[in-house]
Structure 1
Amino acid sequence: MFTTIESRLFELERQRCRALTDGHTDKLARLLSPKLSHVHATGRVENLDQYLRYVSERAEFLQMQRSNLQLDVEPGFAVMTGGQSAVLRLKPDDGRIRRLEAWVTQLWVLEGKDWRLRAFQATPLPMATGDSS
């Protein structure tokens, strides 16, 4: 059974994924801390303004799914980990659709009365090929 805080954080993560796939950067911005550090699976690091610009101008998220989410809640912050599968099209690239699989670590911080995402770190996972190496 989840605590109220855990349920709230899982709901905020669902809202984050939905804002990305719906293209609602205003809703997304409300979930993110002004001190955001977002590390893409490529290693590129962006602050809040850079990330929102990337989402609105460069990336079209077609699907976003989370799996195996784990949450460790401490006073004033929480660490969320789990898999992330994203299908997206980068603009203005050639329009190819890309599927990205990553393991994600997120830091959610209580800022005033609101939980906000302060840090996001994605580590790419190899695509399933049947090779166990």
Structure 2
Amino acid sequence: MKKILFLSLFLFASATYAQDKKEQALLNAVEKLKEAMVSGDRQALESIADADLNYGHSSGKVEDKETFVETIASGKSDFVTIELKNQTYKITGKTAIVRHQLHAKTNDGGKPGEVHLGIMLVWIKQGKDWKLLARQAYKLP
């Protein structure tokens, strides 16, 4: 009986640790995306985005990976700061959905501004890495 109980606890602890590790890797990817968007680091942006990225703006405009990277890296879309609030996530197999509010100071075209958006991100697991597959933004009231 003690062996069964120990084995059950070991399996539960192992499954919990594995899930926590997967969740932490996802949350780290979200943070890397945020940092890359603020820094405009082309290599970081390219490495976090999936080749088939579908990046939707609150205006309805949709960009592919190449356009998303170029827009941020060139400074055309310039995030000075980004704060994420009320983040939730759900991992199902090798797919994850992350939702949060994004509050940012911008400097697009040298014009200071602010954005307040609701965001939904779709991530896919590729090997050990989470890659951004899709993003959709909407304006917060």
Structure 1 length-normalised TM = 0.87
Letter in 1 for 2:54: S
**Greater Cα radius of gyration, structure 1 or 2:** 2
Q: Which runs of 5+ in 2 are unaligned?
A: 1-15
Partner Cα separation in structure 2 for residue 17 and residue 113 of structure 1: 19
User: Aligned-pair distance for 1:116?
Assistant: 0.1
Report SS of the residue matched to 2:84. Answer: strand
Superimposed CA distance per residue, residues 62-120 of structure 1 (whole angstroms, 9 cap, x where no aligned partner): 001111110100011000011111211112xxx22111001100100012332100000
Question: In the alignment, is residue 101 of structure 1 matched against residue 119 of structure 2?
Answer: no
Counterpart CA distance in 1 for 2:81 and 2:134 is 21
Q: What are structure 1's unaligned runs of at least 5 residues?
A: 127-133
In 2, Cα distance between the equivalents of 1:125 and 1:110? 29
User: What corresponds to 2:104 in structure 1?
Assistant: 86
**Which range moved further: 22-31 or 66-75?**
22-31
> What letter corresponds to residue 27 of structure 2 in structure 1?
F
In terms of mean alpha carbon deviation, does 68-77 or 14-23 score higher? 14-23
Secondary structure at the counterpart of residue 78 of structure 2: strand
TM-score if structure 2 supplies the norm length?
0.82
Cα RMSD after superposing both structures: 1.4
**Residue equivalent to 2:29:** 12
- What's the CA shift string for 1:20-48, capped at 9, x where partnerless? 11121211210110000000111110000
CA distance in 2, matches of 1:123, 1:17: 17
Q: Which runs of 4+ in 1 moved over 4 A?
A: none
Taking only the aligned residue pairs, the percentage that are identical comes to 21
Structure ranking higher in helix proportion: 2
Check if 1:120 corresponds to 2:135.
yes
Matched, 1:21 2:38: yes
